[in-house]
Structure 1
Amino acid sequence: MKSRVLILGAGFGGMELATLLSRSLGDDADVIIIDQRDSFVFGYSRIDVMFGKTTLDAVRLPYASFAKPGIRLVKETITAIDAEAKRVTTNRGTYEADFLVIALGADYDMAATPGLSEHGNEFYSDAGADRLRDIMPDFSGGPVIVGICGFPYKCPPGPSECALTLHHYLTERGIRDACDITFVSPLSSPMPASAEMANELVNTFEEYGIRLLRQKTVVRLEPGLAVLDDGTELPFGLFLGVPKHQPPQVVIDSGLTEDGWVTIDLPTLETRFADVYAIGDMAATGLPKSGTFAESAAQSVSSSILAKLAGGDVQRNTGQGTCIVEFGDGRVSYAELDFLTGPKLEAVFHPPSVAGKTFKNGFDETRRTRWFNA
């Protein structure tokens, strides 16, 4: 008898989990994925969109191209989650499952930073990056702030990539000397998981004349002025922000969150409800909120579900992932991270290089092929 697996969210974690279950169970799989979007976008593509290197339409991967045995992907809006009953209500109906996996990612709380919507810009959403694609060519000079408005946030290297790419963008336009770039971060390091990558970023910031303000958070924007949590006021002509993150409201309303995020058992990703798992950005793992860590979580959950269905070993969450950083000049650096398989964090750093760009392209192509047969 089939057991239904219900996956909420078709991001890195959801797509990988569905793919793994389909490969193991084939037509015997009974998996439904629910997502309100009609396409997938790699988060790192938004940097290219905002600086005019590509368009949003060009980087979208339609979910209509996702076809796997035993998998059904539906475009619906989730309105309620009953974790105890493993029941989900959408704008079109109700679904019940034997296994429920919540992989809805993190949303952006723009209202948490007063003035951000009115006086600044965010580049972490598809819409925000697309809007900046039209705004950037009209910017002619003045102070620019790349500012983080809360922690934790997705893709720890993302703001650094923005600052570095901005430097090259302004240089190519011949207006870099007319612009000051300040990067405001709540962290003590631009890449805490890899000291070598952090040093490379700090040295590059210094080389490019990018001012780094550490352990500070943007808490309010006024017209042309960013206010930090220590009271510092920074003038700006252009503000590029990372909004405060939170789980989707429907997840908060479900009662699954504690201290802002969904509580899980880190080795298994299981919530306090049996056979209900949470993977990806909204789960309180303490690990970087990044697609590859959602993938490794999906591998653990897949093994757990398969073991309960047919026996076999359960793979504990490895906490493994890769953080990739664009330096904006054709070079890419990346760090391979392993948080949980050994007694301490292991980080293998690959300095910025053109070969790193080849690695990133391969990362992209592998997932396009694996998920979308593209």
Structure 2
Amino acid sequence: MNPHIIVCGAGFGGLELTARLSAAFGPEVNITLIDKSDAFIFGFSKFEIMFGQQSREEVSSYYSNIAKPGVEFKQELITAIDPDARRVVTDKNTYTADIVVVALGADYDFGATPGFVEGGHEFYSVEGAVKLRDVLPNVTSGNVIVAVVSEPFKCPPAPCEAAMLLDEYFSERGVRSSIDLSVVSPWGIPIPASRPASDAILERFRERNIGWSPNQGVRAIDPATKLVHLRDGNTLSYDLFLGIPVHRVPAVVEASGLAVDDWVPVNKANLSTQFPNVYAIGDVTSAPVPKAGIFAESAGRAVAEHLIAQLRDSGTAKPYDGAGSCFIEFGDHKVGRVDVDFLSGPSVTAPFTEASLQGAEEKREFAASRRQFWFGG
């Protein structure tokens, strides 16, 4: 009887894992890929939605188009996970497997910050990006703040990317001189892993008169007074607040007993959990890497290699390297890149390639190659 593998979540990690297992085993392994959504959308595509450059439909890769031998996709909501029994319950079915991989990402807790729901906007969800698409054309003046409420948060460059793209957007509309634009971050520099990338971002901020408030967090937002209450007790006035919300482990994962101290602990080398034949990858874990799609992808690759060696009972998989290339939008259609390696060597390496038009083309090729590998036959 063929081994049955359940993959909970079809983001970067789940798709990479599924595609690699299918390529290795074909129909000899039964893979059930479960996600509540009908389509995958790259995180950076939310900017395209937010600025009205593309529609949700145009940036969606539909799971129904997955053409991988041995893979069956189920659009279902996961309601319970029993890691002891390796059983997954959804709103439609109950599944039991030989191996379970949890790749459900991080959820957003908008209500954790007083006033956020009533007075703020966000671009980390597709729904938030769609709302901003309708809000931004009406912004002609005032204080626009992009603020990271707390850490950890997904995609470390995204808040700064948002500011640089907003600068470009308002400039093209001829209203930038009437808008004060700033970023609030809990970090001292934009990307702690890469000083060169951080220096490039801060230089762009200086060139474009974008404010930078480091080592700060947001305690609350007051929609009545239009004030952002910062962690140190100071306040900032705002007309448009774009917040990166509090992140949390999905409730179904917390209820499963997999999470410890907010996130799922994993073996750093192979991303196994404390439960036999149960793995966790991506943002849902407390692995010592940032929460970002590229690291979920490399985690999916590492678990795939480990499972291939295990199921074939031959070879030794390489340990998870925590490596990936992160693209950074600087505006003017130019994109930079940080090539990060968190775990392979004695210390983190993160060289930066400066923003260029070629970088933008490389980013497009990155997306196209993933769509082909994850969805193509």
What TM-score bracket applies, with the shorter chain setting the length? over 0.9
Match for residue 250 of structure 2 among 217, 229, 248: 248
Aligned counterpart, 1:279: 281
| Identical aligned residues as a percent | 43
List runs of 5+ in structure 1 lacking aligned partners.
none
Asked if 2 retains the 8 angstrom alpha-carbon contact of 1:18 and 1:31, the reply is yes
Indicate if the aligned counterparts of 1:299 and 1:315 stay in contact, CA closer than 8 A: no
Mapping for residues 1-374 of structure 1, pairs under 5 Å = 1-223=1-223, 224-311=226-313, 312-373=315-376
How many Å separate the matches in 2 of 1:7 and 1:368? 18
Quick one: distance in 1 between partners of 2:189 and 2:98? 43
Q: 1:95 is aligned with what amino acid?
A: Y
SS at match of 1:371: helix
1:285, 1:300 → 2: CA distance? 13
Alpha-carbon distance in structure 1 between the residues aligned to 2:169 and 2:364: 21
Q: Give the AA of the match of 1:288.
A: P
CA distance, structure 1, for counterparts of residue 312 and residue 54 of structure 2: 46
Q: CA deviation at 1:373?
A: 2.6
Q: List, as ranges, runs of 4+ consecutive aligned residues in structure 1 with deviation greater than 4 Å.
A: none
Determine if contact 2:68/2:376 at 8 Å carries over to the other structure.
no
**C-alpha separation in 1, matches of 2:182 and 2:341:** 31
1:286-341 per-residue CA deviation (whole Å, 9 max, x = no partner) reads 20111111111111111221222112212210111111100121000001111111
Amino acid in structure 1 at the alignment position of 2:281: I
Query: Please, what is the CA RMSD of the aligned residues?
Result: 1.0
Q: Hey, what's the Cα distance between the residues in 2 that align with 1:27 and 1:367? A: 22
- Report SS of the residue matched to 1:342: coil
- Deviations 1:86-127, CA, capped at 9 Å, x for gaps: 111111121111111000011100011111110010110000
- Given residue 44 of structure 2, which amino acid in structure 1 is its aligned partner? Y
Q: Output the amino acid matched with 1:358.
A: E
One-letter code aligned to 2:96: E
Partners of 1:252 and 1:206 in 2: CA distance:
42
The Cα shift of 1:241 comes to 0.9
Aligned length: 374
Per the TM alignment, residue 280 of structure 1 is displaced from its structure 2 partner at its CA by 0.6
* Whole-angstrom CA distance in 1 between matches of 2:221 and 2:69: 49
Unaligned runs of 5+ in 2: none
Residue 372 (structure 1) shift: 2.0
Measured in 1, the distance between the counterparts of 2:91 and 2:49 equals: 31
